[in-house]
Structure 1
């Protein structure tokens, strides 16, 4: 006989963990389904990444996050969320992908890569880091091209093009240059991104100004080949010698998954999913959104620090509905 969970949570990132903690405090029968490792997005961040937020702003459920510096790094965050999940014995199923969500009259049928579940309520807290925003140029599928950056060592003594001007692009460019890579940045805009960490921005600007890192502003990649890359600049097309392309052009939520679940999206480029900000409930009764996925293509809108509250908002709404129906 299939167990019917009161709440099924999709995604075991910080916000999914926060939702699980709230469910456990209320003694609800819940389960968290995660297609990768615990806090899979954080796990795939660059090894030396430092958060913009301070450690107390990354805390969930008022559980202290102690780090060596005011702004913790990736490994400290992984340790923190791992300890929160294990010490609280949260019911999390890892390496299991949710494929479909179907609303029936009384509950939700959730099919995964391993089995099927029934749940009264479903919370989608799956983030947006799994699907990169593509350049859509010839050669983007070559092995030399990546949309994720882990560490600098493989790029030592290589000609590397870093595409983008965000925090991730700037961090990658600086680290690769410091490890002996020959770095060229290709930037669609006229300057380094305005949201780049304030302690990093002067560093990249000075490296560009002194010529250590070459940067082409108001420029785009035209095509990628085995040993070259062609870019379109204000001065016309240029072809550069190239060994690797690190295209850090952003990521997006799995909109197809949301649409298939019945969630409406805005018609503009933002593709904002429909939900009530007072309850986080979508246009599908009993189906909720939590965390950064709420921002659609506006991936800079929600972070751990300002979406932690979603867990309490959702569980308080579910509890109020349960009380009302008793």
Structure 2
């Protein structure tokens, strides 16, 4: 069984940053990623543009040069891929972690392909893999998706987009511009305030001019093969419909965290327990890094403000090594 100072679960930007920092400090490490390099970013919409500028997405002070001030998905994929290959990071792709066993002085990390021993484990798995479901009849129909990739697929179709976040608004605008008949269903009274500042006026104008129909203070009640029922203004209405994009956000894999023994708050925020100075959880030598630290508050942590986690964690690991 291969043994490492650090086993990093998740090969996104923050997992890569942790690998870089471990490598710089002379620690043996392995990064385990269940998909391709930066799997979550790979599954973002094809035309997605980041809210952050390129320098805020940089890790380890490696320059990120983009064509525009706000880089797009493909530029980010190229940037992080080049970091992995140029630095010859020890990353195993398409290898899903299925279990982590705690021992007195180590962990056994079991994957779909192998087993590894690590003195320390870093969980940097993000939150994009598990969607917040609507929990309504018909949500399992083939016409319903919690992910969106390319607007061309929806050209000439009646599309209901559920949500008011960046992903929902981007999808609504892009599908409309490719010829879809778009209806937006929003639980709140307005378009979300966190929507990208250059996009929010666009969607508001499209709604006001009638190009995109929007129902505010509304919820989905049921989905059928050729229609969707929503509750709005105290009544239920049926809308003819071909596809539903339920882009209502995502959440961390809480079951996995609890299986590891990490304490999670039992309120709506579901915050995992960790030391804000070291990122160590209530389990000794088990750390969290990146957006997973925010629980259900997935808007609190981004690449730009969690890059520092890698340095914090590795510094603490080295301090612990010195104490031995």
TM-score between both structures, scaled by the size of structure 2:
0.99
Contact (CA 8 Å) 2:144, 2:244: kept in 1 or not? yes
* 2:166 alignment partner in structure 1: 167
Contact 2:12 2:39 in 1 (8 A): yes
Partner of 1:35: 34
Q: Following superposition of structure 1 onto structure 2, how do residues 193-204 of structure 1 map, counting pairs within 5 Å?
A: 193-204=192-203
Q: Spell out the pairing of 1:80-99 with structure 2 (5 A cutoff).
A: 80-99=79-98
Is the counterpart of residue 264 in structure 1 residue 263 in structure 2? yes
Alignment of 1:170-185 (within 5 A): 170-185=169-184
Supply the distance in 1 between the matched residues of 2:167 and 2:246 (Cα, whole angstroms). Answer: 10
In structure 1, stretches of 5+ residues that fail to align are none
User: Cα offset for 1:316?
Assistant: 0.2
What's the CA shift string for 1:20-43, capped at 9, x where partnerless? 000110121100000011100000
Classify the secondary structure of the residue corresponding to 1:231: strand
Q: 2:311, 2:207 → 1: CA distance? A: 45
Which residue matches 2:225?
226
Q: Is the 8 A contact 2:184 2:213 kept in 1?
A: yes
> Alignment RMSD, CA only?
0.5
Per-residue CA shift, 1:241-271, capped at 9, x if unaligned?
A: 0000000000000000000000000110110
SS in 2 for 1:12: coil
Q: Which whole-Å CA distance do the structure 1 matches of 2:180 and 2:22 have between them?
A: 48
SS at match of 2:135: coil
Cross-structure match for 1:3 = 2
- Structure-2 residue corresponding to 1:129: 128
CA distance in structure 2 between the partners assigned to 1:20 and 1:253 by the alignment = 21
Matches of 2:209 and 2:2 in 1, distance apart?
A: 63
- Count of matched residue positions in the alignment of Structure 1 and Structure 2: 324
Q: Partner of 2:236: helix, strand, or coil?
A: strand
Q: Deviations over 1:115-167 (max 9, x none)?
A: 11110000000000000000000000000000000010111110000000000
Supply the distance in 1 between the matched residues of 2:76 and 2:114 (Cα, whole angstroms).
31
Q: Which string of whole-angstrom CA distances, capped at 9 and with x for unpartnered residues, describes residues 169-202 of structure 1?
A: 0000000000000000000000000100000000
Q: Does 1:216 align with 2:215?
A: yes
Cα distance in 1, alignment partners of residues 171 and 3 from structure 2: 45
Separation of aligned partners in 2, 1:106 and 1:314: 17
In the TM superposition, 1:1-326 aligns within 5 A as 2-325=1-324
Aligned-residue offset at 1:235: 4.3
For the 8 Å contact 2:2–2:115, the answer to whether it is kept is no
Partner Cα distance (1:267, 1:171) in 2 = 33
Summarize deviations over 1:39-65 as a string: whole Å, max 9, x none.
000000011111000000000000000
Following superposition, which runs of at least 4 residues in structure 1 exceed 6 angstroms of deviation? none
**SS, match of residue 284 in structure 2:** coil
Give the Cα–Cα distance (whole angstroms) in 2 for the partners of residues 64 and 233 of structure 1: 48
